[in-house]
């Protein structure tokens, strides 16, 4: 332990006061960009628990998940975008609903422009039995993305500072053919929403192998989103290109796609699942114990600076490529 020198007299006290100020100024500034691994773990554990029975659209399990998400939005101070948080639709005889919250921007002009941060919170319910287990818990697919949206909503609700308005949307019906996102995209388009970017999170529960970026972006070549996002992220290479994503047409296989079709604006998905780093796609062993929540918390933190800058630039710098 360092000894503390006691200064005598007025000059000594004066010198000590400014010494303390100088030392304080030299300390690294505390940042609000901190995502709790423990909170990520708790949320992930609940959303992918056996209690929710795989969160299939139209079941009690997804109803319970929806109530949980609504309660989180209320706690954070995220308002319903519509009259309530629920945006209801039908798939044949099945009743589904998205959960949609938003934070209004603080700039008189830019608040009429919107960023939509989304993920699907449904899963398939059941899958092939393994050792007596048939519940497809959907931890990586897509409780992980849902956790990401909730943590980002919490950050922006706590810290504010967004000139543009931000919608936080959790979709159901994804596993039935992108039905929830298709419904919401058409609804918002009919209301002439000025959508700037749709930023979707899908399967972010495990790190990628041997990559120089944190996550890949589907439809990488369609816009300058990855380039600008990395620029906004203090030069960190957060988003990169995965050839398999292009080869497997992943751009069209998640909830970003209906927004691209409806609005023709940058609408892309962030993911870390590359078909080699996680063996439990649509499998009963897609459980929280097999995910890396430390990595998840770190990735969500890495997404925040880019989203903050995206929500505050005076012009729409992120654009579709010709």
pLDDT tens for 244-268 read 999 999 999 999 999 999 999 999 9
pLDDT one-digit tens code per residue, 100-134: 999 999 999 999 999 999 999 999 999 999 999 99
314 — pLDDT class (breaks 50, 70, 90): very high
| Domains of the chain, CATH where assigned | 36-310 (3.40.630.10)
- The yes-or-no verdict on residue 4 having pLDDT over 90 is no
Give, in degrees to the nearest 5, the angle at Cα 139 between 81 and 116: 25
Rounded to whole angstroms, the Cα distance separating 36 from 30 reads 15
89 — pLDDT class (breaks 50, 70, 90): very high
Residue with tokens 């009743």: 95
pLDDT one-digit tens code per residue, 204-213: 999 999 999 9
**Comparison of pLDDT for 176 and 34, the residue scoring more:** 176
Rounded to whole angstroms, the Cα distance separating 53 from 191 reads 35
Beta bridge mates, 194: 113
- The yes-or-no verdict on residue 2 having pLDDT over 80 is no
Rounded to whole angstroms, the Cα distance separating 84 from 133 reads 36
Q: What is the pLDDT of residue 33?
A: 72
> What is the DSSP pairing of strand 215-217 with strand 239-240?
parallel
How many C-beta atoms surround the C-beta of residue 78 within 10 A? 23
Mean pLDDT over residues 215-239, rounded? 97
């Amino acid at each position: 332990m360092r000894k503390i020198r006691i200064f005598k007299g007025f000059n000594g006290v004066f010198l000590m006061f400014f010494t303390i100020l100088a030392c304080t100024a030299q300390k690294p500034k505390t940042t609000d960009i901190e995502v709790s691994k423990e909170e990520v773990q708790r949320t992930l554990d609940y959303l992918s628990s056996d209690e929710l029975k795989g969160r299939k659209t139209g079941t009690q399990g997804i109803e319970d998940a929806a109530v949980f998400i609504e309660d989180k939005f209320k706690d954070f101070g995220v308002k319903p975008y519509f009259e309530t948080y629920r945006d209801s639709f039908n798939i044949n005889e099945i009743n589904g609903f998205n959960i949609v919250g938003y934070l209004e921007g603080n700039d008189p002009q830019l608040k009429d422009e919107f960023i939509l941060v989304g993920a699907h919170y449904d899963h398939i319910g059941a899958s092939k039995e393994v050792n007596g287990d048939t519940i497809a818990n959907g931890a990586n697919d897509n409780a992980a993305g849902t956790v990401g949206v909730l943590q980002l909503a919490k950050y922006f609700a706590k810290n504010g500072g967004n000139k543009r308005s931000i919608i936080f949307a959790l979709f159901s019906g994804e596993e039935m053919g992108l039905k929830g996102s298709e419904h919401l995209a058409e609804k918002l388009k009919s209301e002439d929403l000025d959508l700037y970017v749709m930023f979707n999170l899908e399967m972010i529960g495990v790190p990628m192998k041997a990559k120089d970026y944190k996550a890949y972006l589907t439809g990488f070549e369609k816009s300058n989103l990855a380039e600008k996002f990395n620029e906004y992220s203090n030069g960190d290479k957060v988003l990169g290109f995965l050839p398999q994503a292009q080869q497997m047409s992943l751009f069209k296989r998640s909830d970003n796609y209906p927004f691209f079709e409806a609005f023709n604006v940058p609408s892309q998905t962030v993911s870390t699942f590359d078909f080699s780093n996680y063996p439990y796609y649509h499998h009963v062993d897609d459980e929280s114990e097999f995910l890396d929540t430390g990595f998840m918390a770190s990735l969500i933190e890495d997404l925040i600076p880019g989203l903050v800058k995206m929500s505050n630039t005076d012009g729409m710098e992120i654009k579709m490529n010709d």
